Amino acid sequence: MALPTIAFLGTGLMGQPMVCRLLQAGYAVTVWNRTAGKTHTCVEHGAVRAASIGHAVRQADVVITMLASGPVVSEVITAAFADLPESALVIDMSSTRQSEACAIHTLLATRGIHFIDAPVSGGVAGAEAGTLAIMVGAAPADFARVQALLTILGTATLVGPPGTGQLTKLCNQLIVGGTLHLVAEALLLAKTGGADPAAARRALRGGFAESKILDVHGQRMLDRYFIPGGQVTSQCKDMENIMDAAQNLHLNLPQAQLVTDVYRRLLKTDPQADHSAALLDLERGNPGVRLSDKKDQLPTESNL
252-255-260-261 Cα dihedral, nearest 10 degrees:
110
**CB contact at 8 A, 49 and 76:** no
- Side chain identity at residue 64, one-letter code: I
- Of 38, 169, 237, 268, the catalytic one is 169
Categorise residue 90: left if φ over 0, alpha if ψ from -120 to 50, beta otherwise. Answer: beta
Q: Is 169 a catalytic residue?
A: yes
Alpha carbon distance 119, 78 (integer Å):
19
**CB contact at 8 A, 162 and 138:** yes
**How many other C-beta atoms are found inside a 10 Å radius of the C-beta of residue 255?**
12
In this structure, what are the phi and psi dihedrals at residue 115, rounded to the nearest 5 degrees? -135, 140
CA angle 144, 145, 147 (to 5 degrees): 60
Alpha carbon distance 116, 261 (integer Å):
31
- Side chain identity at residue 60, one-letter code: A
What are the residue numbers of the active site?
Answer: 169
